[in-house]
Structure 1
Amino acid sequence: MKNSLPGEVVVEICDFNGDEMRCLMQKLEQELLQIYPGMPRSSPLQPSLALVARAGARPLGCVALLPWGTEAAEIKRLFIEPSARRHGLAKRLLAELERQASQFGIKRLLVETGNLQAPALSLYQSLGYRPIAPFGPYIGNPVSCCFEKLLGH
């Protein structure tokens, strides 16, 4: 039986450089280093949008959108607190990100995740993201699995 979440969860736009995102990003980095020891630190981002899932004042998850030209963007930093997983928060965050991206005129979403992150691989495929060849900085990275989703189809 899964634990219940502490109160109603809302998904809202947030400050990518704010305390909530910084805290969640530190936890994401720690988790990724456990999965991929020796992995280099993530490079700094300047996303066009950041979202947080929050129960009351407690941030439970986040995601960001990084522009790739005028009609494409990359999903970055999707993370859900371990205690809040398996409650559909990642799907809620991605649904809101897709909605916002469509409003910005984005027609194609790209995402990269690692080959050892089975839950992430399953999540993206279950939401209609299809595998593509590695793009941008992921070309030649043996652990990268890349996906895309065309919006508005």
Structure 2
Amino acid sequence: MPVVSLESPRRDDVLTLLQQADDFALSLYPVENYHRLDIDGLEKASVGFYVARENGEALGTAAIVDRGDGSAELKRMFVTASARGLGVGRALTAAVEEHARARGVTLIQLETGLPQTAAIALYEKSGYRAIPAFGPYIDDPTSYCMEKSL
């Protein structure tokens, strides 16, 4: 089972992982449909940025963005191809949910894309349900939005 902890997104191996996430997403979507949170955004006080590691190797990331109104958005969820199916995504999801609960968040929303069926399945197994597109995703035909009450 991976160890998941809060980390800086500026560590070299994490930057490499974030680049892999960008490359993966851009292989699926046009740039205008890729809604990432950049490094500066990941360092804001309202963001908890988590890295999953096994034997020191970074296997995945997830960020939780506290909106300050009792809700948060899950962003930058990514697991390396070699670590998919090993529980890394579940561990990251659990960590961001625990982070959110500790800060009084009662609702987590997220946006993924229709081609990402494995991600959608993970979120469904974790208790998320489909919702209409929200915020910047409303006019994006590739977006698939979900939420979970905590």
Quick check: TM above 0.5? yes
Q: CA offsets per residue over residues 43-73 of structure 1, 9 Å max, x none?
A: 5224520111111221011100112233111
The corresponding residue for 1:39 is: 31
The corresponding residue for 1:29 is: 22
Instruction: Return the TM-score normalized by structure 1.
Output: 0.87
1:35: Cα distance to partner?
A: 1.4
The corresponding residue for 2:7 is: 14
The corresponding residue for 2:143 is: 144
Equivalent positions of 1:114-129 (< 5 A) are 114-129=113-128
Distance 1:30 1:107 in 2: 32
Distance 1:87 1:43 in 2: 25
73-82 or 46-55, which moves further after superposition?
46-55
Shift of the 16–39 alpha-carbon distance from structure 1 to 2, 3 Å rule, reads same
Number of positions where the alignment pairs a residue of Structure 1 with one of Structure 2: 143
1:80 aligns with 2:72: no
Q: CA offsets per residue over residues 11-53 of structure 1, 9 Å max, x none?
A: 11111333343211100011111112x3246352245201111
Distance 2:108 2:123 in 1: 11
Larger Rg: 1
Distance 2:128 2:117 in 1: 14
Distance 1:30 1:109 in 2: 26
Identity score, percent? 35
* Secondary structure class of the residue paired with 2:72: strand
* Secondary structure class of the residue paired with 2:140: coil
The corresponding residue for 1:5 is: none
Contact preservation (8 Å) 2:37, 2:75: no
* Alignment RMSD: 1.5
Which ranges in structure 1 are unaligned for 5 or more consecutive residues? 1-7
* Secondary structure class of the residue paired with 2:109: strand
* Secondary structure class of the residue paired with 1:29: helix
Distance 2:130 2:59 in 1: 28
Q: Say which structure, 1 or 2, has more relative contact order (CA 8 Å, 6+ apart).
A: 2
- Please state which structure has a larger fraction of its residues in helix: 2
* Secondary structure class of the residue paired with 1:69: coil
